[in-house]
Structure 1
Amino acid sequence: MTIEVRSIKSGEGPALLAMTRALAESHGFLDKYTATAEDLERALFASDPIVGCLLAFCDGEPAGCAFWHRSFTTARGCEVMYLEDLSVLPAYQRRGIGLALLQRLAVEARDRGFPSIYWLSMGWNEKAQALYDKTGATCDEGMRFYRLADAALIRLAGAKS
């Protein structure tokens, strides 16, 4: 078995779409998934992209991805990397692909001068948490993730202060 991890290339949006859709489906979010392969490629290959993506291949077949974007921390006064999605297709799980993606992502962060990588994990996803623990990542147990989206965002935007 050969695992290769590299930056996504133009034209590979459909493979990325399949992986991110599989992740949304496994997390119960497929009803909110509206991205297209074209949307993903447009963001990735913009003139000054704020996002990046690594693809993992197992024996030459697309097997997983790590989709990230730039963020900023005022506490350190610099950009950091935010891992939006780490996805390994079900047929390729438990083969070291997730760890290979995280290792290559760490190289990418280091080479870009980012001092850290942040991400969220679903509380029920014990397999993912075991992988993250294996890397030495720590979990900020006291943190909560909030999202303001769709109708709530529009409602708040229209509220008079």
Structure 2
Amino acid sequence: MSEREDDPGRAEVRPARPDDLPRVVELIAEHAAYEKAATPAPGLADRLAGLLFGPEPSRLRCLVAALPDGTLAGYATCAPELSTWDGAEYLHMDCLYLTEASRGHGLGPLLIAALRTEARALGLPELQWQTPEWNDRAIAFYDRLGATSRRKRRYTLPAGA
């Protein structure tokens, strides 16, 4: 890892821009492979462009971790969601991913801090997310942040015809 990557104080977390989308899609594919999930379907960059930068405002937000040389080392996505039990909205972090070489150098806390700032800017009281039960490194990171967890399983079901 270069000295620049080792200095997260010089890294920047910012909203993704349209010209970031090819790299964000690469990072999403890396993330999917890391989690042993299916490769994203073709056309993801176009779908994300519509959600993030289209004429209709979207709830989806994407933040990127940019190294001093401009290289994108990771991303986080989030959107406001509703908790029926609390009768309140919260910010749901859908994804947080850093390249293997960028982990453990302070970029994760920068992304989380930016997400918390986003939640406050939206007037939302908290940030929630999920991580695979086998991802011990992520779990240890979230525990160090002081986050609490609840055991649940996440299900998906196609809407179908």
* 1:78, distance to aligned residue in structure 2 (A): 2.7
Measured against aligned partners, the alpha-carbon deviations of 1:108-134 in whole angstroms (never above 9, x if no partner) come to: 111111111111100010110111111
* 1:94, distance to aligned residue in structure 2 (A): 1.4
Measured against aligned partners, the alpha-carbon deviations of 1:112-159 in whole angstroms (never above 9, x if no partner) come to: 111111111000101101111111110102x2211112xxx42xx5xx
**Which residue of the other structure, out of 54, 62, 65, is the alignment partner of 2:72?**
62
In structure 1, C-alpha distance between the alignment counterparts of 2:51 and 2:63, rounded to whole Å: 14
AA aligned opposite 1:18: E
In structure 1, C-alpha distance between the alignment counterparts of 2:38 and 2:101, rounded to whole Å: 19
* 1:83, distance to aligned residue in structure 2 (A): 0.7
Aligned to 1:137: 147
- Equivalenced residue count is 150
**Gaps (5+ residues) in structure 2?**
1-6
What TM-score, normalized to structure 2?
Answer: 0.86
**Which residue of the other structure, out of 8, 19, 36, is the alignment partner of 1:28?**
36
Structure 1 moving runs of 4+ over 6 Å: none
Greater displacement, 22-31 / 100-109 = 22-31
Q: What SS does the aligned partner of 2:137 have?
A: helix
In structure 1, C-alpha distance between the alignment counterparts of 2:115 and 2:97, rounded to whole Å: 13
Measured against aligned partners, the alpha-carbon deviations of 1:88-112 in whole angstroms (never above 9, x if no partner) come to: 0122111111111011110111111
In structure 2, C-alpha distance between the alignment counterparts of 1:110 and 1:144, rounded to whole Å: 28
What TM-score, normalized to structure 1?
Answer: 0.86
AA aligned opposite 1:8: A
Aligned to 2:4: none
Measured against aligned partners, the alpha-carbon deviations of 1:43-85 in whole angstroms (never above 9, x if no partner) come to: 1113211100110012221001111122111233232111111
How well do the aligned residues superpose, as a CA RMSD in angstroms? 1.4
